Amino acid sequence: MKPDRSVVWVTLGAPLLLVLAILSIQLRQGRDRIQVLPAVLVGSGLMISRSIMRRRCRSRLLQDLHQARADDPH
């Protein structure tokens, strides 16, 4: 498998995990639905943490750009 394809699969891992969990919830009944809870928590946790990391990275990049513009004598 090419490295580019593996990155795509890793990126889609959390959303696919959530889709699988939603499908599993619909197929299960009663107390068996509790078994799907870890997949939902892990998938949503990964997506939330990634969005927070992305926001922090963009904020840092914007601060660096502003700093570079302020330091530029032109």
| Residue-wise pLDDT tens digits, 10-55 | 788 899 999 999 999 999 999 988 999 999 999 999 899 989 999 9
Q: Provide the domain count of the chain.
A: 1
Domain holding 63, by residue range, is: 3-71
Q: Which pTM was predicted? A: 0.72
Measured distance CA(11)–CA(27) in Å, rounded = 26
What does DSSP assign to residue 12? T
Confidence of residue 65 (pLDDT cuts 50, 70, 90): very high
The answer to whether 17 and 9 are in contact (CB under 8 A) is no
